[in-house]
Amino acid sequence: MRIGVPLETRPNETRVAATPETIKKYVGQGHTVIVQSGAGVASSQPDSAFEAVGAKIGSAADALGCEIVLKVRAPDAAELAQMQANAVLLGMLDPFDNDNNAAMAAKGITAFALEAAPRTTRAQSLDVLSSQANIAGYKAVMVATNEYQRFMPMLMTAAGTVKAARVLILGAGVAGLQAIATAKRLGAVIEASDVRPAAKEQIESLGAKFVDVPYETDEEREIAEGVGGYARPMPASWMQRQAALVAERAKQADVVITTALIPGRKAPTLLSAETVSQMKPGSVVIDLAAGKGENGAGNCPLTEADKVVIKHGVKLVGYTNLASMVAADASALYARNLLDFMKLIIDKDSKLAIPTDDDIVTACLMCQNGQVLRKNA
């Protein structure tokens, strides 16, 4: 089959959906791979690297006109116009974007959004959310280190001792846990919070202190258990107690990293404007939910998407695509995720064979035969 890998055109998107490593495997299976010229340059993969493993270099129309198209982000109208009806599209297509789902269905393509894969053991190798969140958690700490005007570790020098930075991490999913591990390697003193009781052991195993917000009712404890690996929205009473405790810890923190995001919902407010106003001058907030909260903010209402702003003497960083700032490794992991998903829809004869009884395939299938199959509330 003909597999196309176009250049990503969305702002600040530097990743590519296939690497020489994965293209070599596609070619070995008998597929023809067409990579748009320059598609991998931003992720340190020149055209020559793709040609060396058997790919052909072509135009955007060549790549988008293939039977199977591998993308990082959802196609825009101009890209959709260049795709064939009945083509198969794989990518991070935002399954909760009803307009995009409808546009893809209208074109007649079969679209798979990998973010919708179930959180099961069998689906781990193609879990794009985890692979990219891992990178975002790492990069969040690197960005914080760059923006923070003091050292991260404790240093003893001839001119005296410098205290270690205090880092507060809110949300201990994949991104939060990687942020804890990265900040720990840099010598910071770390506290972390999460609604899920299971997170306590994970946080402490990485050397951070767990900020415990006790549950007062069985209902709170049940909701906190979450569903499908994600937290659920907590009752207002618990959120108030958490806000008070977070405010207390944030006042003492030098760096706050917020990572709370539930797919398909607005990002919850974890760090209020009032709390930011009471933080130490020179503190840094990295908001991984930037652009996903109310009015385009994030876990903090003062965050501005894709901007670094200073408010109340605190620097708020709102980059919305941290994974793209580590383009080479982000692309490598994402390309492997796609390769593993392809194994589910390509048979041993290298022909397209979309199963109807595979829970991963059906969960990721957004549209087919002109019909939107994804049902959002």
Please identify every residue annotated as catalytic. 119, 124, 127, 130, 230
The amino acid present at 256, given as its one-letter code, is V
Query: Angle of helix 20-28 relative to helix 327-345, nearest 10 degrees?
Result: 20
3-state class (DSSP) for residue 132: helix
Sheet with 56-58: strands ordered across: 56-58, 32-36, 2-5, 68-73, 88-92, 110-113, 365-368, 371-372
Instruction: Kindly give, in sequence order, each residue whose CB lies less than 8 Å from that of residue 188, ignoring residues fewer than 6 positions away.
Output: 152, 153, 164, 165, 166, 167, 255
The token pair at 165 is 């930075």
The enclosing H or E element of 314 equals strand 314-317
The tokens for 354 are 């979309």
Which alpha helices (H) appear in 297-377, and where do they start and end? 327-345, 359-364
Give, in order, the Cα–Cα distances in Å from 109 to each of 219, 292, 372: 44, 28, 10
Please give the C-alpha separations between residue 329 and each of 42, 44, 51, 124, 333, in angstroms, as whole numbers. 12, 10, 20, 18, 6
C-beta of residue 15 within 8 angstroms of C-beta of residue 79: no
